[in-house]
Chain A
């Protein structure tokens, strides 16, 4: 992991300017990096900025309303300063993304074959025939049965799990170095989710691509990620190798999240709840953004924004009360 990272995000800030003049700080000073072949889980609840971060990497945020600063270094480029033409060459090629709802990301009026072939021809060129062969090969790699036949079907003929496989096949069409998966299994049944997660693990092992997996499901994170970053209100509040995060979380928000999920392997009479609401991101609070909901809050928490500091090697927390084990011993 000591080699230079594949992607490095430095001090990423994203603000949205609303029609009414209000400015929302969607992402506020995010630093992230992912090494070649590693999987990073980006976790948080609705509105924490995890999807916006990934759209910024892909260069898919609306230019009129989104004000972006910082740097996203990928493969020798700063993606925030890269001209659109170059970005288009990167997207679908070395950078690929899969979304939660495969039906809305597939074009209903073209066959799945057309859509995969288009990607291959755009980035790799070559003959339509060889592109089609590669498309069939890709469909086979994501375990779609009888791909020679399926390739000529329209998206509506496929089930949800199949569509997500097609999306993955399309994302893999040009052997991306980085794959961003935004809630790839949230819309699927658990049995299909298990299939897709298995597939992602398998493909990662085979291709060596790095993955950023965006999810709200800590179970999914535990299964496929090497490292986790927890986001809250536009900031990363905790970052750690996956084993450490689940063994001993160092931010109260993470503790609350872990305590609030019903578990198969543990019976709790009462689940933990995180009281209150996410702060209004048009006027973020002066101190720690979680302070209003935090049961461990001190006066100092509300005075200045806490820095992200290393609690143990590789384990960072944005909480002045970390290490948290001291609170209960």
Chain B
């Protein structure tokens, strides 16, 4: 079976400023040679700090911006050769949801209109049946169909994100790019959206590219992870393998930086010193060498290649084989005591808790 999405050698440099005569003064090397593939029904997470290029990759994959080099193949077709009509047809198959659901919903349209638009645009459902389809999509994301007459401002953040997901689902895509979909939400709402995304994936066979800086969330949702630093993938692996034994010093630093909801957790911590270098002039050699605790001379001059180990784990580090064990970085001694484990299960699984699954009411505002 060929992969749903194959990305090869993707490059995107943005012009950072121009001289009086229009000559480019500098380039932000946002994406610099990124390759990966994604199978249907799976989730690939792109992780890294702000400015590492993860969002740019997601937009290049949808051809919302044009790459400078590289290829993107979706279900075997070369995306970059598509003309405008074919590109529009492709948009049906790949959708995106953003971090801020409020900014991505038109405040002057009702939810019904928002969801009908893609149906009409791609002529998916004949007009008489559109209403029924909208109701169906709303139920799919756990909202009541009667809410279709309301405007985005009448919803909470979590509900708005459900609407954004509903809009993406309206065209029955094969791939959804989720760009920090839960970062702006409160913790309890965040878990609802994450559960929903997983449930929809199981039910509809969706593939996700999940862009996030939150590795705990990524661990929960991803099958495969690509860690990015300054426009390049530095490590990629199955999620379980990466979280069990991160190899690249940057992945280790990211993982060890996550505060764990467990006081006095026994773990070793790598606190990176210094700032993230600018993508305008990334450091020579390994782009992580300015912050790397294991740096040697070779790292300053020679850029390491992403070397696969033959069992699906690739790392771009000269010192992969010499680094100390990563055992203490992600302790796996289980989160809760047995009693607390039971209590949490009772909290989410009790007969009462099931009662209002999905979101049944729109606030308690009397207005």
Contacts and interface: CB of A to CB of B under 8 A. Distances in A.
B260 A265 contact: yes
B171 to A, nearest CB: 27
B257 A191 contact: yes
A222 B348 contact: no
Interface string A243-276: 1001111001001111111111111101111111
A324 B350 CA distance: 14
A255 B330 CA distance: 23
B339 interface: yes
B130 interface: no
B258 A264 contact: yes
A283 interface: yes
Given A191-B254, A243-B264, A295 B352 contact: yes
Interface string B241-262: 0010000000001111111111
B69 interface: no
Interface stretch (A2-10, A60-68, A101-109, A193-201): A193-201
A89 interface: no
A219 B259 contact: yes
A226 to B, nearest CB: 9
Contacts of B323: none
Given A243-B263, A255-B347, A264-B258, A270 B340 contact: no
Contacts of A294: 352
B352 A162 contact: no
B348 A265 contact: no
B260 A280 contact: no
Contacts of B359: 275
A265 B254 contact: no
Contacts of A78: none
Contact of A190 (B192, B243, B254, B365): B254
Interface residues of B, number: 69
A325 B259 CA distance: 26
B220 interface: yes
A265 B332 contact: yes
B265 interface: yes
A295 B347 contact: yes
Contacts of A270: 195, 348
Given A190-B254, A273-B195, A263 B260 contact: yes
B261 A328 contact: no
B188 interface: yes
B351 to A, nearest CB: 8
B106 interface: no
A190 B263 contact: no
B340 A265 contact: no
Interface in A280-329: 280, 283, 294-297, 324-325, 327-329
A46 B353 CA distance: 22
A198 B269 CA distance: 11
A257 B187 CA distance: 7
A266 B335 contact: yes
Contacts of B352: 294-297
Given A189-B213, A261-B191, A272 B257 contact: no
Contacts of A193: 257, 259
Contacts of B190: 260
Interface of B: 49-50, 156, 186-188, 190-192, 194-195, 213-217, 219-221, 243, 253-265, 269, 271-276, 330-337, 339-340, 342-344, 346-348, 350, 352-353, 355-357, 359-361, 363-366
21 contacts: A160-B50, A193-B257, A195-B272, A195-B273, A219-B260, A222-B262, A243-B263, A256-B347, A258-B344, A261-B216, A263-B219, A264-B255, A265-B332, A266-B334, A270-B195, A272-B347, A274-B188, A276-B361, A295-B352, A297-B352, A324-B343
Interface of A: 45-46, 145, 159-162, 189-191, 193-195, 197-198, 216-223, 242-243, 246-249, 252, 255-268, 270-277, 279-280, 283, 294-297, 324-325, 327-329
